Structure 1
Amino acid sequence: MSTSATTHDHKKIQKWAEEREGVPSKIKNTGKEEDSGVIRIHFPKHSDADDRFEEISWEDFFKNFDKNNLDLLYQDKKADGEISTFHKFVERKK
């Protein structure tokens, strides 16, 4: 059985991503000057669209994440027990 969890804890998010070789990224050409634009956790080993993503620092990632009042909805393992990279950003509940 697969389950999901939600968090906005920076250390937990970074640990989850790095355990799966994920990197903080933005989608190119979506931000202006100081704005990172649309952020993502990118998993280069599982993607063939690397040219759409630009790696950013965790600091810049979390600045945008908090500014937009986001939580990370994520899955640790798939139903078959395999490590999962499933995640999405959702509006933080008050």
Structure 2
Amino acid sequence: MASATKTTDHDAIRKWVEERGGCPARVDIKRHKQGGGILRIDFNDPGGEEDESLEHIGWDEFFKIFEENELAFLHQDKTADGQVSRFNKFVSRSGDED
């Protein structure tokens, strides 16, 4: 099983996302009654359907929300079979020393 890495480093997060063709996004507040602003990374594959529940945001806004919510970015560089991985998740940074 491939391992995942947790980081709070803004430059490392941005580099990882952009190397995989992703962009910063959040759940569109206007479309969800249960609130919004939940961070996501959008990997809009060519020819794929656009996820209308996501709102693209700039990196400054993304990292503002990231810091306000004291998040860390859990990500995987390679899959178990050596392919480039897009696995990522936002987790609480409580207890982190980053």
| TM-score over 0.5 for the pair | yes
Say whether residues 1:51 and 2:82 are aligned partners: no
Shift of 1:49: 4.8
Q: Where do 4+ consecutive residues of structure 1 move more than 6 Å?
A: none
| Structure 2 contact 39–90 (Cα < 8 Å) conserved | no
- Name the counterpart of 2:78: 77
Query: How big is each residue's C-alpha offset from its partner over 1:36-71, in whole Å with a ceiling of 9 and x where there is no partner?
Result: 711111111186352111110000000000000000
Number of residue equivalences: 89
- Name the counterpart of 1:22: 22
**SS across alignment from 1:45:** coil
What is the alpha-carbon root mean square deviation over aligned residues? 1.8
Q: TM-score normalized by structure 1?
A: 0.86
Q: Percent identity?
A: 44
Structure 1 unaligned segments of length 5 or more: list them: 31-35
- Name the counterpart of 2:39: 39
Structure 2 unaligned segments of length 5 or more: list them: 31-35
**SS across alignment from 2:29:** coil
Higher helix share: 1
